[in-house]
Amino acid sequence: MIIILLFLVNFINADSLASQKTNELREMQLRDGIIELNSTGYFYYTMEFPRPYDIVIYFVAPSCKLCNDLNEHYQKVAKFYADSGALYKSESKRAVFFATMTFNDKNKQVFEQLGFISAPNLFVSQPHIVFVPQDERERYLRDMKWTISYTDGTVTAHKFLEFINKRTARQVDYKASTSEALTVIGILLGALTFGGLIFIIARPLFLNPKLWFIGSVIIFITCLAGVVYNIIHNVPFFSQNNRGGLQWKTNSGRQQLGFEGLFLSLGMTFVGLTMVLIMKLKVLLKHQKYSPFTERFLYITLFICIFVMIQFVEENYRQKSHYNPIYWPPKHYIKGPLNKDQGNSF
Amino acid sequence: MSSEEETQQSLPYKVHKSTLKWAPVFNMTILLSIAIISCLIRVFSVIRYESIIHEFDPWFNYRTTQYLVKEGPYALWNWYDSESWYPLGRSVGGTVYPGLMMTSGMIYWVLHKLSIPIDIRNVCVFLAPIFSAFTSLAAYGMTKEITKRSEAGLLSALFVAIVPSYMSRSVAGSYDNEGVSIFALVFTFYTFLKTVNTGSILWGVYTALAFFYMVASWGGYAFIINIIPIFVLFLLITGRSNSRIQVAYNVFYILGTLLAMQIPFVGFQALHSSEHMASHAVFILINFLNFFSWIRNFVSKKAIITLTKFLIVFLVFSILVGVVILTLAGKTQWSGRSLTLLDPTYAKKYIPIIASVSEHQATTWSSFFFDLHYLILFSPVGLYYCYNKPTETKIFGALYTVLGVYFASVMVRLLLVLAPAVSIMAGIGISWAFRKFAKSVRSFILPKIEKPKKYRIPPEISIIGLVILGYYCSIYVLHANFAGSEAYASPSIILSSRDRQGNRNIIDDYREAYYWLRMNTRPDDKIMSWWDYGYQITGMSNRTVLVDNNTWNNTHIATVGMAMASSEEDAFEICEKLDVDYVLVIFGGILNYSGDDINKFLWMVRIGGGVYPHIKEEDYYGKGTYRVDQYATETMTNSLMYRLSYYRFDEVQTAYGQPKGYDTVRQAVIGVKGYKLRHFEEAFTSENWIVRIFKRKQRENRDGVAFTSKSTSQFTIPKEFSPVTKFSKKANTKQRSTLNFQNNE
């Protein structure tokens, strides 16, 4: 009987301690937005049972730029979670709290225990952590922590959410704040209004097909220059070669430099535009009186321009990849009868 | 004889007259020859290699077609494929564009009904070349609709027929969606332009049907459903809209959307996906304007102005209120979604699975030049011609080109959509130049017929021009010929190399290995490989794979990436969880084959790391670069991929004057030599080591853990037994709950 009573008391105690810890954490988070933990707090709230909740802890170091940059996103995520009611446990899910820890001499031990050698780190601490035996620990922790580094690319609140959602089994979505949403709407509407106004003011200009042509050619040149490629791969306009000189093109068929793309795109479009000029030369020069010789000279010059430019483009391409259009078949084609060639189905 | 009659008797006049008489015959003959050429140039791959399905995706299409032919269309609809994406499986019927398979299935059935017992493989292999012939005919029609000139049409047809970009996806054996859908694309545009020119509802229906075929065959139909609304909107803004446009658009939109919904993979996406939004908006707008102008007939001018003002204010206000309410209610997802819409680079920067595919890369100028060659140089001429005296169809051609260039610059694969556009533009431009030059020469030779005009180019210049343009056209043909016979002819599952004497050697490692798998493993064995080879393994070996080229489940791919990037022990655990029996890696270190898994490995790390953050890319960089030599990091040399790829590699000499274990691709001697595998054993390595297959061993017995009783509470654990030791009785029970938890997850 006594044993049962003792057990009950113990049970009730544990239960009340659990709810007490939960309440404390909830109050702290509601007050500060994010709970600031020291090492005592860490051991008390995460490593001592009972703890019927998850804690997400963001480990930072002083004077760590990336930590500060990401802090804003972390706070957002904490707010999304709080807004979605994650501070209270539901039928199947534990409450989730958000805390942060800044590295100093006193809490060094915590960082070491979790195996952090750099900052920032995100860590989702679940009640099970208390049970995990030492030699399973590493594998267990590995799934629960995320050491953020430059190879993770641009880390946003979305990525934080994805990471935390997976580990807390909650489905909290990113919600733009009202001001953010209004800014986006404002910019979009503003741009639309601005475009509409410009169109109304300069309507005759926009209805001019000549302008369409110019616009099209500009788009044509920009796209041909591989601007999207340059943006994605962060390509510099120029670079330096081994000898320290200025380098404006690469020899690799899959890469390009900013200037190279633009220059060759201009060159390629130039051919077409010169061709247009040849077609239209007579009309353009209708008010000038030229001798037939000058006129023919002009035409020949334009043709030479086309020829030289095409040579130039081809020459540049040849340095990047195999390119050799010839009028006769390659040597290996006429080397013997077809059926000596391995691999054909004749 | 009068001078008039004398002229008529002269030779040039006779030639001119008879040419005119025979022109339609020439026209058709040339067009037919172009169609034949477009077929023949694509058969190089069969002549130089063999009649085989190429690359990766075609293997899935081929397998699906086989299933279709064997089981019938309804079975395909309900096909749940358990051989891929183990243990998830894939519902093929609902996630496939069936147009391609249905087409070849249809051809197969018709031929068999006609007692021509053709093999389904040959139907599949030669389908794309046949459709390219149709494409050139459609391009002829489309150009003719744009310019009303058949010579422009003929040039465009020739250019489309052999443009390298299109050939890259439609050589014989390249049995892919694009092979038929580029025809569908051009044909849809042709019928649409025909509707625009005639205003005929019948042609509108044809447009919708052609569009339906396009939707059935390729996801690129989104291009059509966007460009046509943009075109209509452009005409509305510039005040060029008319009733023909309205007929064309309304018929196309209503029927097209309804038909598109019949494809299970599209379904209701045709109503609510963002790709279709433009088409809905323009439909509403065009009919609203129509309605408004109809009302105008019955209302006074003053009332109209008031009405207009009221409508504008009402519209703006309601949109604003609607957007704000939706935002405040949290129904709209601004940040993530709008970012992907506004910034085409978003997905590629942040989603590694998209960035890792080479055909998703952004395009450099050299890709434009290789794949479109001189067409890209001469298409501004066609653009100018179209804008010079714009009609609706010319505007469409120009818009198609400009939008196409934009999309092509975002993604290499979309060069394919641009290819017909620049072919048509270059065709129009060059034929314009040819015509001008020819007219000037004609007026010189036959002044009576071709009256000299003021702005005519001097005849000798015209001859030079004709020669130069002819020369460049011929160079284009040569380049296209090279592309068809060499650059794009390789099936990529058969490789060829050339020795110093110029003899060709066929390297058939892939098929050797896949055949081995087929013959030497149990039918229900699961093969783990990187997703690139998934379709080939299911297609050729008929074995179950974990991931394949239909990259629908990023997490599953990331799991495989994690297994490859983990140490052998960890990988073993993952493999055991996933029931993996064999691991297949591609290794090119002996043959200098650079498309191997070690070179793709960083992407596995990235994709794995995207889901499992403990995989860090920088852990695989030794001294700041990705390397396999002695400076490679421990994580790298311990990874399963490294261990399997270089297993026993130090026993062979690969290059003259280099020590054993010299990797010819990475040009370095491997860092770890003479290691043993603990959980895997080598099962097969192909002739040139390109494909290596390893079998997962059974789990080793745990040393010394011999429970004599079911009750563990009686059991005292000896200290020297490492894995489960070190716990008191209490800890042991706790550990159990951990295990439970892991199982639950």
What is the sign of the dihedral through the CA atoms of B141, B143, B148 and B149? negative
**How much is the pLDDT for B48?**
82
Q: How many CB atoms lie within 10 A of CB B520?
A: 13
The whole-number average pLDDT for the span A150-179 is 78
Tell me: the pLDDT tens digits for B367-404? 999 999 999 999 999 999 999 989 999 999 999 999 99
Quickly state the pLDDT bin for A331 (edges 50, 70, 90): low
- B310-319 mean pLDDT: 83
What is the Rg, in whole angstroms, of the alpha carbon atoms belonging to chain A? 34
Lowest-pLDDT choice from B111-125, B179-193, B341-355, B558-572: B341-355
> Where residue A62 falls among pLDDT bands split at 50, 70, 90?
confident
pLDDT at residue B338 in the model: 45
B69-104 CB burial, b ≥16 within 10 A, e <16: beeeeeebeebebebbbbeeebebbeebbbbbbbbb
* Chain-chain contact of A272 with B735 (C-beta, under 8 angstroms): no
Among B1-5, B482-486, B682-686, name the most confident range.
Answer: B682-686
The Cα A243–Cα B574 span in angstroms is 49
CA angle A52, A54, A56 (to 5 degrees): 155
Give the model's pLDDT for residue A345: 41
Task: Check B349 against A232: CB less than 8 A apart.
Answer: yes
What is the value of ipTM here, to two decimals?
0.84
Residues 6+ apart with CB under 8 A from B515: B540, B541
Which of B224-238, B415-429, B604-618 has the least mean pLDDT?
B604-618
**pLDDT given at position A250:** 84
Nearest CA in chain B to A271: B377
Cβ contact B455–A128 (<8 Å): no
The model's confidence at residue A25, banded by pLDDT at 50, 70 and 90, is confident
Q: Which residues of B touch A226 (CB under 8 A)?
A: 362-365, 368, 409
Cα separation values, B384 from B191, B229, B356, B396, B559, Å: 24, 23, 38, 13, 53
- For B203-250, how does the pLDDT look when each residue is reduced to its tens digit (9 = 90+)? 999 999 999 999 999 988 989 999 999 999 999 888 888 899 999 999
* A155/B728: higher pLDDT: A155
B600-608: average pLDDT: 89
pLDDT at B442: 87
CB A308 within 8 A of CB A267: no
Tell me the nearest-neighbour CA distance from B572 into chain A, angstroms: 14
- What is the tens place of the pLDDT at every residue in B101-155? 999 999 999 999 999 999 999 999 999 999 999 999 999 999 999 999 999 999 9
Q: Is the pLDDT of residue B703 over 70?
A: no
**pLDDT, tens only, B68-78:** 999 999 999 89
Mean pLDDT of A21-33: 85
Question: Per DSSP, what are the bridge partners of residue B80?
Answer: B91
Tell me which chain A residues have a C-beta less than 8 angstroms from the C-beta of B353. Answer: none
Residue with tokens 């899910």: A93
Interface probe for B, chosen from A142, A206, A279 (most Cβ of B below 10 Å), is: A279
**Cross-chain residue pair A174–B460, CB shorter than 8 Å:** no
| Cα B170 to Cα B152: distance, rounded to the nearest angstrom | 24
When pLDDT is averaged across residues B154-165 and rounded to a whole number, the result is 94
- Identify the weakest region by mean pLDDT among B187-191, B234-238, B293-297, B690-694: B293-297
Mean pLDDT calculated for residue range A76-101: 85
Model confidence at B279: pLDDT above 50:
yes
Considering only B248-257, B314-323, B572-581, which range has the smallest mean pLDDT?
Answer: B314-323
Per-chain mean pLDDT for chain B? 85
What's the pLDDT at B727?
42
Q: Is the CB of A342 less than 8 angstroms away from the CB of B505? A: yes
**pLDDT confidence band for B472 (50 / 70 / 90):** very high
Do the beta carbons of residue B179 and residue B131 sit within 8 Å? yes
Query: Where residue A33 falls among pLDDT bands split at 50, 70, 90?
Result: confident
CB contact under 8 A, A325 and B482: yes
Residues 6+ away with beta carbon under 8 Å from A164 = A56, A77, A81, A96, A122, A124, A170, A172
d(CA A9, CA A15): 10
Task: Examine the pLDDT at A116 and tell me if it is beyond 70.
Answer: yes
- Contact list in B for residue A342 (CB cut-off 8 A) is 504-506
By mean pLDDT, which of A177-186, B14-23, B198-207, B235-244 is the weakest?
Answer: A177-186
CB contact under 8 A, A325 and B475: yes
Q: Does residue B26 surpass a pLDDT of 70?
A: yes
The closest of B442, B152, B433 to A280, measured between CA atoms, is B433
Q: Is the pLDDT of residue B623 over 70?
A: yes
Q: pLDDT category, A289, cuts 50, 70, 90?
A: confident
Confidence (pLDDT) at B717 = 52
Q: Is the pLDDT of residue B6 over 70?
A: no
Instruction: Please answer yes or no on whether A143 and B614 come within 8 Å at the CB atom.
Output: yes
Per DSSP, the three-state class of A330 is coil
Mean of per-residue pLDDT scores for chain A = 82
Other Cβ atoms less than 10 A from the Cβ of B539: the count is: 22
Q: How far is CA B193 from CA A83, B145, B146, B231, in A?
A: 54, 6, 7, 11
Query: Which pLDDT score is estimated for B394?
Result: 94
Tell which residue, B736, B711, B713, has the closest CA to residue B724. B736
Burial class of residue B67 in the structure, from the number of CB atoms within 10 Å of its CB (0-12 exposed, 13-18 middle, 19+ buried): middle
Tell whether B361 lies on the interface with A, counting CB pairs under 8 A.
yes
SS (H, E, C) B287-300: HHHHHHHHHCCCCC
Asked which of A112-121, B166-175, B725-734 is least confident by mean pLDDT, the reply is B725-734
The answer to whether residue A155 scores a pLDDT higher than 50 is yes
Q: Taking the model in full, what pTM does it have?
A: 0.85
At residue B605, φ and ψ (nearest 5 deg) are: -65, -45
Look at residue B253 and tell me whether its pLDDT is greater than 60. yes
Chain A hits for B617, Cβ within 8 Å: 151
Q: Which residues pair with B179 in a beta bridge?
A: none
Cβ separation of B387 and A131 shorter than 8 Å?
A: no
**B614–A260 CB contact, under 8 Å:** no
| pLDDT at site B582 | 94
**Residue A32, Cβ neighbours under 10 Å: how many?**
13
Mean per-residue pLDDT for A84-96? Answer: 82
Residues of chain A contacting residue B408, judged by C-beta atoms under 8 Å apart:
223
Integer CA distances (angstroms), B637 to A14, A307, B184, B297, B672, in order? 48, 54, 50, 81, 7
Report the residue of chain B nearest A329, measured CA to CA: B482
pLDDT in tens, B532-550: 899 999 999 999 999 988 8
How far is CA A100 from each of CA A47, A57, A75, A301, rounded to the nearest angstrom? 16, 5, 10, 72
Window A:16-55, CB contacts with B under 8 Å? none
Residue of higher predicted confidence among B273 and A146: A146
Reported confidence tier of residue B426, pLDDT bands at 50, 70, 90: very high
Set of chain B residues whose Cβ sits within 8 Å of the Cβ of A296: 458, 460-461
pLDDT top residue among A203 and B638: B638
**What's the pLDDT score for residue B700?**
80
Q: Which of A139, A268, A293 to mutate to test the interface with B (most CBs of B within 10 A)?
A: A268
Q: Which two tokens stand for residue A88?
A: 């209270």
**Beta-carbon contacts of residue A332 (< 8 Å; ≥ 6 apart):** B498, B502, B504
Query: Which site among A144, A146, A147, A213 would you substitute to test the B interface, given the most B Cβ atoms closer than 10 Å to its Cβ?
Result: A213
Residue A184 and residue B379: Cβ atoms within 8 Å? no
Comparison of pLDDT for B471 and A241, the residue scoring more: B471
Q: How many beta carbons lie within 10 A of that of residue B278, not counting itself?
A: 17
Query: Can you say whether the dihedral through the CA atoms of B287, B292, B295, B296 is positive or negative?
Result: negative
pLDDT band of residue B738 (cuts 50, 70, 90) is very low
Mean pLDDT over residues B257-281, rounded?
87
Between A183 and A313, where is the model more confident?
A: A313
Residue of A nearest to B609 (CA): A152
CA B31 to chain centre: 28
Extended strands (E) in B515-624: 526-528, 544-545, 582-586, 621-622
Q: Which of B442, B303, B325, B418 is nearest to B369 (CA)?
A: B418
Indicate yes or no: CB of A317 within 8 angstroms of CB of B366.
yes
Residue B356 has pLDDT above 90, yes or no: no
**B51, B334, B614 ranked by CB distance to A181: nearest:** B334
Q: What share of chain B has pLDDT > 90, as a percent?
A: 49
Phi, psi of A57, deg, nearest 5? -120, 135
pLDDT of residue A343: 44
* Calpha distance A88→A26 (Å, rounded): 8
Q: How confident is residue B40, by pLDDT bands cut at 50, 70 and 90?
A: very high
Q: What is the reported pLDDT for B424?
A: 95
